[in-house]
Amino acid sequence: MSAAMSMVATRIPITAPWLDDQEIEAVGRTLRSGWLTQGPEVAAFEREFAEYVGAPHACAVSSCTTALHLALRALGIGPGDEVITVSHSFIATANAIRYCGATPVFVDIEPATLNMNPAAIEPAINARTRAILCVHQLGMPCDLEAIVATARRYGLWVVEDAACAIGTELLFQGQWERIGKPHGDIACFSFHPRKVITTGDGGMITTSRTEWDAQFRRWRQHGMSVPDVVRHEASTVLFETYDTVGFNYRLTDLQAAVGRVQLRRLPEILERRRSVAVRYATLLAGIPGLRVPEEPVWARTNWQSYCVRLPDRCGQRQVMQSLLNHGIASKRGVMCTHRTAAYETVPWSASRTLRESERAEDRCVMLPLYPGLSDMDLERVVAALCDACL
């Protein structure tokens, strides 16, 4: 085998979902049942997810992006409205605001947590502001107590982009609670393969409001008044109606079957991820100027990603290329939506500078982290990063 082939064969990915025969059996069971689209597995997944996070309601949808869209729609967000959020997030966060015809207003982040700076919110509020869309970036919880307090003071809704945050906890009003309770008004999760648990793709919306949950369930299925499960199990003929324009935002039973297994395995997944993060922090301490992520005293992250800030002497692209030359995948810092070509002609605003957001995008690198990362591979990542930075 050539050296190049050997490197490819032993390449360390940025992440890898933790799947085995349990998920395969769950899919097989669902295939044998004959019910493949949204049905009893989705309903069971919703109940189990709601119980896990401590939410009264959980509604499964096709992605976190569609979850965010429905969340904002339930709040009545529309043209002429403004929603305060961060540019420093995957573009889907701002896109969901634009789907509603509203304008995203970007505020800067705190460099330590890479999350929305609560102090930047109040200066961005005006008569058109309707909501705050905060992000638990890379699984690290944002300062919800401060954000919710500001929102309530001004009569604003709070939507949590919790795409990365399943299993994350925070100290809220003196109690340790899981993200998704929700602590604002609505929380939205992702089950993309890069997240802590996966269904291939998919999302979940949690809320304490029964009327919103009912709206989500109609909107996700084209506005249909009678769900498929109810119609198929009815002893009398039922005709559904379509009284509102909806969407095809459903999760399938095949996906939900996988999600149920993943949710049961979540405690062990979190334990493994946290063990890797602790090991990283110890091994990376020897690189001068490298800043590793740290949890605030009020946070317990799920370590969805391990994002380091490079020393000033190191170029981001050069470090990432050096890692790749060693057969190690990495990702640049979280993108800034306002810098993308897509938003050159899309309405948005920022009340103040986004300097910290831009610096984080330019100076941060995400390292491999997943439950199956071996000690040998972890040490190989650290050695390669040392080689690139020293």
**pLDDT of res. 227:** 76
Report residue 222's pLDDT band, with 50, 70 and 90 as the boundaries.
Answer: very high
Which is it for strands 349-350 and 331-332: parallel, antiparallel or unpaired? Answer: unpaired
Beta strands in the chain (DSSP E): 57-61, 82-86, 103-107, 109-110, 115-116, 129-135, 157-161, 169-172, 175-178, 186-190, 203-207, 299-300, 306-309, 331-332, 349-350, 364-367
Model pLDDT, residue 255: 98
What is the 8-class DSSP label of residue 335?
P
Query: What's the pLDDT at 330?
Result: 98
Q: What's the rounded Cα separation, in Å, for the pair 214 and 203? A: 16
Residue 133's nearest CA partner among 170, 81, 195, 186 is 186
Q: Would you state the structure tokens that stand for residue 217, as one six-digit string? A: 């369930």
Nearest Cα neighbor of 119 from 377, 359, 352, 364 is 352
- Residue 76: pLDDT above 80? yes
| pLDDT confidence bin for 231, thresholds 50/70/90 | low
At 154, which CATH number?
Answer: 3.40.640.10
Distance CA 336, CA 160 (A): 18
Q: State yes or no: cis peptide before 182, omega within 30 of 0.
A: yes
Give per-residue pLDDT as tens, 256-269.
999 999 999 999 99
Measure the CA–CA gap between 220 and 213, rounded to whole angstroms: 11
| Cβ-based neighbour number of residue 223 at 10 Å | 16
Q: What would you report as the CA-atom Rg of the chain, rounded to the nearest whole angstrom? A: 22
List, as one string, the DSSP characters of 189-211.
Answer: EE--TTSSS-SSS-EEEEES-HH
Contact 247, 67 (CB under 8 A): no
Neighbours of 97 (CB within 10 A): 26
Confidence of residue 241 (pLDDT cuts 50, 70, 90): confident
Q: Clarify whether 181 is annotated catalytic.
A: no
**pLDDT tens, 339-380?**
999 999 999 999 899 999 999 999 999 999 999 999 999 999
Tell me if 204 sits within 8 A of 61, measured CB to CB. yes
Q: Give the model's confidence band at 71: pLDDT under 50 very low, under 70 low, under 90 confident, else very high.
A: very high
**Residue 270 contacts residue 167 (beta carbons within 8 Å):** yes
- How are strands ordered across the β-sheet holding 203-207? 57-61, 203-207, 186-190, 157-161, 129-135, 82-86, 103-107, 349-350
**Tens-place pLDDT, residues 129-178:** 999 999 999 999 999 999 999 999 999 999 999 999 999 999 999 999 99
Give the distance from CA 262 to its chain's centroid: 16
φ, ψ at 351 (rounded to 5°): -70, -25
What's the pLDDT at 6?
Answer: 45
Mean pLDDT score, 48-54: 98
Q: Could you give phi then psi for residue 365, rounded to 5 degrees?
A: -140, 135
Domain that holds residue 135: 3-389
Number of domains composing the chain: 1
What is the DSSP secondary-structure string of 71-96? HHHHTT--TT-EEEEESBS-THHHHH
The percent of the chain in helix, strand and coil, each rounded to the nearest 5, is 40, 20, 40
The torsion of the CA quartet 111, 113, 118, 119, rounded to 10 degrees, works out to -30
Catalytic residue among 57, 69, 130, 195: 195
Helices (H), 284-374: 316-325, 355-363
279-332 per-position pLDDT tens digit:
999 999 989 999 999 999 999 999 999 999 999 999 999 999 999 999 999 999
Whose tokens are 């789907």? That residue is 99
